[in-house]
A and B are shown apart, each in its own frame.
Chain A
Amino acid sequence: MLLASCSRRAESPVPVEIEHEVSPAPARVGPVTITFKLADSNGKLITGAHIAIEADMSHAGMSPVFAEAKEEAAGRYKAHLEFQMAGDWVILLHVTLPGGKKLEQQIDVRDVRPN
């Protein structure tokens, strides 16, 4: 079951809106699923984008976690990550749009709970 931990519109330098959901909510140490919805400024879903994900803890000394999101439905992408430690995480999205345009987006996932 997908639980929406947060869903918000993200600001980015190109006119693309990214909404995301983290499951489970609240996020816990262990495997998590993140879904994204990409849309242009008119609300039209963007298909065929490539999303590379990097998750870091907010403090130094931990290895980042890498993943790639797969397009599950038109404009909807899903990625699986593993949070190794409780605390605050920062997810960096490296998005390549179908036209080759690139953008980066930062998502804060605060308060990941211990198991």
Chain B
Amino acid sequence: MNLSSIPAQETNPEVRPFDLMHVPVVGDLFRWRYARPVLQAPLLVLSIIMILHGLFGPTLAPKNLATTLSWLHFRGILVLVLLCAGNFFCLACPFMLVRQAARRFFKPRFNWPRTLRNKWISVGLFVLILFTYELFDLWSSPWWTAWLIVGYFLSVLVVDGFFKHASFCKFVCPIGQFNFVASTLSPFEVKVREQDVCTRCHTKDCIRGRREPVSDLVTIRGCELALFQPSKVGNMDCTFCLDCVHACPHDNIGILSRLPGSELMTDPIRSGIGYFSRRKDLAALAIVFTFGALLNAFGMVSPVYAVETWLGRILHVNHEAPVLGVIFTFFLIAEPVLLLGLAAWLTRAWSGSQRALLPLAIRYTYGIVPLGFGMWLAHYCFHFLTGLYTVIPVTQNTIASLGRPFLGEPRWSLTGLPANIVQVIEIGFLVLGLAGSLVVTYGLAEDDSPDKPLRAFLPWAAVCLILWCASMWLMFQPMEMRATMMMSG
């Protein structure tokens, strides 16, 4: 990367975005160099408690902190924070605290292989997690949930033990990829305040790291994910680690407000990423994110069992894995190829776009991300809000089981918000997702075919409506959580 060539970005001096760094206390905390470990430490302690309780606590999921906190509270809070603020989970990621501690003893020696500098591994792992979630019913198993967390810690240590920078975050972590995609719809972004300051800057500490004048040793790290702040666009690949904030000698990087989803409507070259429209791997990630949201919700409603039984009969199999394989292939490959391919073909035919079919499909694929996020929000918030207070009796029970019931006897009657109220919130998220997708796809259509934006937009609006109707249908299906899917008959 040529650090001296900073592209000029449009700035309107009259419209100053809100800067979270200027909020008292919050801004002071984020400016503090040790903000990240301080935020990571409580989550690390919580992770350890979850692992111990998952391995040695009650085997029943509703009574175990590993399952309750992982599948209800963590997921719900994660998507709500992404919606309302940004990728602050990655900022407080406990895995990175362990990695950082380990790197005091083991310095990684290798660069991440060039051929693997893409999202294909993480897309595969994202699918694998969705698959194992259904196959092994992770939500009902504290033991498996605990091992999943342990596996995460080990993977981080192995990958970042061998490879420099934040290789795990950028190229491996499935949770991170989920956060990166969802945070394209967040209202905040880590961004330079004044481009002019960057143009005049010669040290580029935000990416190179702040260094000792003589020894050239890095004292404050620059961006480990290769995002050069002046030409960084949006939240993709940004872990909100604030390294750039601390490294910038001009205090020129803030956490600025922006229009959620606006980064999906444009296609500039992005530092550390390139063009969205040329990234097949990123488009695949967006597809898994969106269609995976429907698939994951499909796995918890009654019709899935009828489909599985029917497929098992056709395939003459009794094991769940091949049946799930067929369902996953349909949801994550056949359906997207059909829907997005047809929409791209129609857009090309109607609007006269000169783009080839695949680049056109890739470009518009990012338009369905808001729909996917709406579905994740609806699904995760259903579990989170209907089981909001369950963490209280589970914690009481855990402490009581240690022989010191100072929180009192477990109040098992505490659950959460009534399902009928939560359903209204779910519908709100789905409507928000549809509106976001329509706005983004129309923005892309206007940019792509200024003369005939409506013709370019209509096929994608149809795709959005189909997916939205499918989401609404799923939300109104009776929920059914079984630990055994393949039933006879």
Is there a chain B Cβ closer than 8 Å to A64's Cβ? yes
Q: Are A59 and B412 touching (Cβ within 8 A)?
A: no
Tell me how far the C-beta of B487 lies from the nearest C-beta in chain A, rounded to whole angstroms. 6
Q: Mark A22-46, 1 if CB is under 8 A from B, else 0.
A: 0000000100000000000000000
Q: Are A86 and B62 touching (Cβ within 8 A)?
A: no
The B-contacting residues of A in range 67-103, CB under 8 angstroms, are 85-88, 90, 92
A residues lining the B interface (CB < 8 Å): 29, 54, 56-64, 66, 85-88, 90, 92, 110-111, 114
Q: Are B480 and A61 touching (Cβ within 8 A)?
A: no
27 A–B contacts, CB within 8 A, in A order: A58-B60, A58-B61, A58-B483, A59-B61, A60-B61, A60-B62, A60-B68, A60-B71, A60-B390, A61-B71, A61-B386, A61-B387, A61-B390, A61-B415, A63-B412, A63-B413, A63-B414, A64-B412, A85-B479, A85-B480, A87-B480, A87-B482, A90-B60, A110-B484, A110-B487, A114-B478, A114-B480
CA gap between A105 and B478 in the complex, in Å? 30
Q: Which residues of B contact A87 (CB under 8 A)?
A: 479-482
Closest A residue, CB atoms, query B388 = A61
Is there a chain A Cβ closer than 8 Å to B67's Cβ? yes
Q: Are A86 and B480 touching (Cβ within 8 A)?
A: yes
Is there a chain A Cβ closer than 8 Å to B63's Cβ? yes
CA gap between A69 and B355 in the complex, in Å? 71
Tell me how far the C-beta of B398 lies from the nearest C-beta in chain A, rounded to whole angstroms. 13
Q: Which residues of A contact B36 (CB under 8 A)?
A: none
Closest A residue, CB atoms, query B477 = A114
Q: Are B484 and A111 touching (Cβ within 8 A)?
A: yes
Tell me how far the C-beta of A28 lies from the nearest C-beta in chain B, rounded to whole angstroms. 11
Q: Which residues of B contact A62 (CB under 8 A)?
A: 62, 386-387, 390, 415
Q: Which residues of A contact B252 (CB under 8 A)?
A: none
Q: Are A88 and B483 touching (Cβ within 8 A)?
A: yes
Tell me how far the C-beta of B5 lies from the nearest C-beta in chain A, rounded to whole angstroms. 52
Q: Are A60 and B139 touching (Cβ within 8 A)?
A: yes
- Given A61-B386, A63-B413, A114-B302, does the pair A56, B483 have CB atoms closer than 8 Å? no
Q: Are B413 and A56 touching (Cβ within 8 A)?
A: no
Is there a chain A Cβ closer than 8 Å to B383's Cβ? yes
- Given A88-B140, A90-B60, does the pair A60, B72 have CB atoms closer than 8 Å? yes
Question: What 10 A-B pairs have minimum CB-CB distances, sorted nearest first?
Answer: A61-B387, A86-B480, A87-B481, A63-B415, A60-B68, A58-B140, A114-B478, A59-B481, A87-B480, A60-B62
Q: Which residues of A contact B72 (CB under 8 A)?
A: 60-61
Is there a chain A Cβ closer than 8 Å to B87's Cβ? no
Q: Are B67 and A110 touching (Cβ within 8 A)?
A: no
Pick the residue among B386, B387, B414, B482 that contacts A111 (CB under 8 A).
B482
CA gap between A86 and B487 in the complex, in Å? 14
Q: Mark B384-416, 1 if CB is under 8 A from A, else 0.
A: 001100100010000000000000000011111
Q: Which residues of A contact B483 (CB under 8 A)?
A: 58, 88, 110
Q: Are B67 and A59 touching (Cβ within 8 A)?
A: yes
Q: Which residues of A contact B347 (CB under 8 A)?
A: none
Q: Are B481 and A58 touching (Cβ within 8 A)?
A: yes
Q: Which residues of B contact A57 (CB under 8 A)?
A: 62, 481
Q: Mark B276-314, 1 if CB is under 8 A from A, else 0.
A: 000000000000000000000000001000000000000
Q: Which residues of B contact A85 (CB under 8 A)?
A: 478-481
Task: List 14 additional A-B contacts (Cβ < 8 Å) besides A60-B61, A64-B412, A114-B302.
Answer: A56-B62, A59-B67, A59-B481, A60-B64, A60-B72, A61-B386, A61-B390, A61-B416, A63-B412, A86-B302, A86-B478, A87-B480, A110-B484, A111-B487
